[in-house]
Chain A
């Protein structure tokens, strides 16, 4: 059952009062008092997002700006390339890219979104990691960049097939944005950064908005047809169905981007033989894995029965074998699939699609099939 923590130390986002007014069931999450669900519940909120539009408060996430001391954006991009395996130099103005901060051994310190806003780079990082991320950036990039955290900005995500129509009422320009495009736009007289992105597998937007205008803006969005507030519970199940990694669960400092199935996010220019190979923390380990393949990988898993298989369940090659070969890192029920769904790590030799493995749940071995991800077809507007 969900425990309520009334600890006064919990921080609040600018939308806290709105969550309470809307009947949000509040739980502690990454140091914040956040809505896990509203009156309809996780199942209906999940399906509503897939069918219509869901508004998520992600203001607890970190927003950070990087400005090169030289004034040349390229210097900031080159500096950031020492901390992430992605090509930031070639990231075009008004474009966003998924990236990871890596450590010396190639493990993932956090995953983030990087945007080129022309005169600066704009980063969105995970709530639980934002303090460490900022310190990491300062430790490695202070010589070249001015690093500014933006605690005075809220972040909203509007996701689902009706998101575009709802947001276009505030600014028609959003219609022209394609997946991973970003624009600085004025919405309700508020200076906003709008990206066409998100974590549900649905078309949608993330909107960075000044904190003092966030509640009125969120309320105005909720007044649009088909828009409902959605809690963290449905965010998790939507992300899981979309096959997207949750930091601290599917990826962490012990997993590399290659093992995590995120090689697609590492551009050719940073790989062996590319224009700017390596040069980031953990490059030796990551480039070796890109060249030779990782010994284990993150896979999608479909339990054959109805029982959800949760995070932490050990995975076995057979119904009677003794040594675990991996474990589940995210698992639950997929409302859009009306079936349980999971992700986990397996040895590469046992990770082929349709391979049969077993999870131990309450002393029983339950069969699961390795499955392609995403589990639901994404509807990004490309």
Chain B
């Protein structure tokens, strides 16, 4: 499975034509204590760069953008009751939503782990 990153601090794990999307550990550190997550509806079609979810810390609300175009297949309902999971396991259990990838060529513009590490250094 390949993991890719956006300049807006989302990660995507690619498994065939499905992308699982979350925010990076760097992003959760910047946000601070997460107290609420708003997720997209299953079945919604999102366009690349469209706000698809919202993550709220004690202080502020931040949009989570769809890194690629696709249809929402599944959302992580656990974040509704345990938003703090974003702080404790941003790269794993705190995934936000899964997209059915509409156009694989959109993945070409995303960063690999080394490039993202350099981006946040």
Cβ B31 vs Cβ A1 within 8 A: yes
Cβ B54 vs Cβ A362 within 8 A: yes
Q: B104: CB under 8 A from chain A?
A: no
Cβ-defined partner of B32 (8 Å) among A41, A306, A308, A340: A41
A44, B35: Cα distance in complex, Å: 13
Min Cβ gap B55→A in Å is 10
Smallest Cβ-Cβ distance to B84: which chain A residue: A43
Q: B38: CB under 8 A from chain A?
A: yes
Q: Size band of the B side of the interface?
A: 10 to 19
From B27, B35, B54, residue with most partner A Cβ within 10 Å = B35
Cβ-defined partner of A333 (8 Å) among B27, B30, B54, B56: B56
Q: A335: CB under 8 A from chain B?
A: yes
Contact flag A42-B31 (CB < 8 Å), given A1-B62, A332-B59, A335-B58 = no
Chain A residues whose C-beta falls within 8 Å of the C-beta of B33 in the assembled complex: 41-44
A17, B36: Cα distance in complex, Å: 34
Cβ-defined partner of A308 (8 Å) among B27, B30, B31, B61: B61
Chain B residues whose C-beta falls within 8 Å of the C-beta of A2 in the assembled complex: 30, 59-60
Q: A195: CB under 8 A from chain B?
A: no
A233, B59: Cα distance in complex, Å: 7
Smallest Cβ-Cβ distance to B26: which chain A residue: A1
A308, B83: Cα distance in complex, Å: 13
Q: Render B11-40 as a binary contact track against A, CB cut-off 8 A, 1 for contact.
A: 000000000000000010011110110100
Q: A329: CB under 8 A from chain B?
A: no
Q: A228: CB under 8 A from chain B?
A: no
Q: A327: CB under 8 A from chain B?
A: no
Q: A237: CB under 8 A from chain B?
A: yes
Chain B residues whose C-beta falls within 8 Å of the C-beta of A236 in the assembled complex: 59
Cβ A307 vs Cβ B30 within 8 A: no
Q: Could you list 13 A-B pairs, sorted by A, with CB under 8 Å?
A: A2-B60, A41-B58, A42-B57, A42-B58, A43-B35, A233-B32, A233-B58, A233-B59, A306-B80, A307-B38, A308-B61, A335-B58, A340-B36
User: Taking beta carbons and an 8 Å cutoff, which residues of A are in contact with B?
Assistant: 1-2, 36-37, 41-44, 46, 233, 236-237, 306-308, 310, 332-333, 335, 340, 362
User: Taking beta carbons and an 8 Å cutoff, which residues of B are in contact with A?
Assistant: 27, 30-33, 35-36, 38, 54, 56-62, 80
Given A307-B36, A332-B59, A340-B36; 8 other pairs, CB 8 A cutoff: A2-B60, A41-B32, A44-B33, A307-B38, A307-B56, A310-B60, A335-B58, A362-B38
